[in-house]
Amino acid sequence: MNNWYISNLGYACGKSGSERGGHVKKLLLTEGLLACFFLVLLLGFFGKYIMKEQKDTGVNTSISGISQNSDGILAVYPGRMQETFSPLSYGQQGEENVLAMCFEKLLLKDRNGVKRNQEISENWDGREGELTQISVQYDAEKGLSTMTLAINPREKTVKGKKVNADDLIFNFYLRCDVSSGEEVPFGGVLILGQEEYMYGTEKVTERKREVQKMLEKPSDALKKQLQDRIIKQELLQEFEWVKGLYQDEAYEFISNKYEEAKDLFAYYYAYQTKYSSEGKSEEEVFEDILGQYGWDYKKLSKVTGQDYDGKAQRIALNLLLQDKKKDTVTRISGIERKDDNTVVIRYFGKEEDAEKLCDIWLLPLEEYGDKAGFDGIAGFGFIKGSADEIYQKSCQMYSGTGAFYMQETGEEEFTLLRNPNYLGKKAELRKIRVLRKEFIENRDIVEALLREEADIIMAKKSKELENLLANRGTGASYSIRKVDIDTSQSENCFLYRTSYVNTPSLPKEITEYQTLFQQINLVKVNSNNN
């Protein structure tokens, strides 16, 4: 399989569907359940003839490997990740785990998910590792809250530059730009003047009608953007999902019916039901199917079950605002700079809604924006409507104020280095190798740890995994330790090599609100074990 179709993808959740009787993945699940049902009946009927000892639940007992790591380097699989993801747009738990090592959120939570930001104070003593202080006052009569947000005056970027109020303003404006990659910024909480800024007019309702008319009769330029940014990106994601089925034994009941992924992709996603992929390359099949949809995202919605209206409206609006005469609102009235380290934000909602506004990763202006183009009055670090460029950059580079930052990226793994200017406790590790490989089988997880190819792996709890670790003949029961996590996420435990990862250095309690990766700076490795 070649990778001709992987190019500058943003995150798109892989919820697929089929016009041939429901959504594809629901259909696939139904097919799988039916296959399993008949298989159970078959095994039940012939069970007394095929009973045998289950000797294949263990892993390879002859595994021996030489660790690829030296002291101070950790190889981790943080969970499932898309090909590309960004602090502006991500969905998988593994992606959030990576971001947590490189960026800090404005909102701080304790292990129970309760906000722990301190109220605004001149005193930061004893709180050097905390990024922000937050105070909120609610005006019930106006339905508005005023949030004062202060950034730690000691905070610095990886390059040693001070982070201040300009960085806060840059981040809020960035997420209010219609081309930033954000679907619904701030969890739907609106800042005063946010809609007027985004639509470029005080008459928001009229502008929304104007955008809708553009979509009813799209120009050639709009058609091209709709195809490139909706149809093509969604189909690329679905093609990746289909390819993944061929790596998972659980889906052999469907993948065995089609020799190649392109054939199964054509079966599920070709809009023309008589289309044949026979004798065609992957690229030809993809281009054929892309051409069947053209720019019509409504057609694609029928197949995937997804609603692309919001994304289409943002694309049309962004195209409209390229006419500067129609963009008459150039700033957000509810965002004001109070001093070098403090910003005041007025928003529609109560005190608790401030948490949604602050539940964002801090991207330093110096790293991602145009410092020379920032004045906080008419310039905010990027040209309005061009945040796509920052979004693409944020998919390829992770350099925030976290404990680590990205050094280099590759197809199989990427490398993070210790941030010398991290404000919290300096990381014990000097380097982290983030593995991109997806572990489908529990056996693969155990073998990777025994071979010392990985030191920490996020996984999903299962009886099979427990059985593999309990099989003393493999050595797994004393070479690997499993820690369960109190979380609603699918990856709800992590496994680590006891001979290399220093157990006492691991956080005592880990939840979805305070993950291992948010506290990766605390982890140590044992010396002289290689």
Cα–Cα distance for residue pair 59/46, rounded to 1 Å: 28
- Provide the β-strand partners of residue 89: 86
Among residues 378, 396, 414, the one where a domain terminates is 396
Cα atoms in the Cβ-side hemisphere of radius 13 Å centred on 230: 28
**What is the Cβ-side half-sphere exposure of residue 486, based on CA atoms within 13 angstroms?**
9
The reply to whether 320 and 347 lie within a common domain is no
* Tens-place pLDDT, residues 310-349: 889 989 998 998 888 899 999 999 999 999 999 999 999 9
What is the b/e burial string over 290-312, where b = at least 16 CB atoms within 10 angstroms of the residue's CB?
bebbebbbeebbebbbbebeebb
**Residue 435 sits in the same domain as residue 511:** yes
Q: Could you tell me which residues come within 8 angstroms of residue 400 by beta carbon, excluding any fewer than 6 positions away?
A: 87, 102, 103, 104, 157, 158, 361, 362, 363, 364, 367
- Same-domain check for residues 426 and 339: no
> 140-160 in b/e burial notation, b at 16+ Cβ within 10 A?
eeeebbbbbbbbbeebbbbee
Residue at 120 is within a domain: no
280 and 224 both lie in a single domain:
yes
Say whether both 411 and 377 belong to one domain: no
- Lowest pLDDT segment from 149-158, 207-216, 382-391: 382-391
Phi and psi torsions of 53, nearest 5°: -70, 140
Instruction: List the domain range (segments joined by +) for residue 193.
Output: 132-200+329-396
- Reply yes or no on whether the pLDDT at 30 is more than 60: no
Question: Which amino acid appears at position 46 of this protein?
Answer: F
Residue 57 within any structural domain of the chain? no
| Highest mean pLDDT out of 75-84, 170-179, 201-210, 469-478 | 201-210
235 and 324 housed in the same domain: yes
Shared domain for 367 and 453, answered yes or no, is: no
Q: Which stretches of 194-296 are DSSP H helices?
A: 194-199, 204-216, 220-226, 233-245, 252-255, 261-269, 282-293
479: domain CATH number is: 3.40.190.10
pLDDT, tens digit (0-9, with 9 covering 90-100), for 125-181? 766 678 999 999 999 999 999 999 999 999 999 999 999 999 999 999 999 987 666
Quote the CA–CA distance of 60 and 83 in Å, as a whole number.
Answer: 30
Same domain, 222 and 281: yes
CATH for 186: 3.90.76.10
Answer yes or no: is 125 within a domain.
no
Q: Indicate whether 207 belongs to any domain.
A: no
510 and 413 within one domain: yes
321 with 363, same domain: the answer is no
**Residue found by looking up tokens 């800024």 in the block:** 197
Pair 408, 518 in one domain: yes
How far are the Cα atoms of 25, 47, 96, 513 from residue 38, in angstroms, in the given order?
Answer: 20, 13, 39, 42
The answer to the question of residue 108 being in a domain is: no
Residues 301, 381 within the same domain: no
| Domain annotation covers residue 233 | yes
Nearest residue to 265 via CA among 229, 303, 298: 303
367 contacts 406 by C-beta, under 8 angstroms: no
Look at the chain and report how many structural domains it folds into: 3
Q: Flag whether 460 is in a domain.
A: yes
At residue 473 the predicted structure's pLDDT band, cuts being 50, 70 and 90, is low
Residue 362 lies inside a defined structural domain of this protein: yes
Q: For the chain, what percentages of helix, strand and coil (3-state, to nearest 5) are there?
A: 40, 15, 45
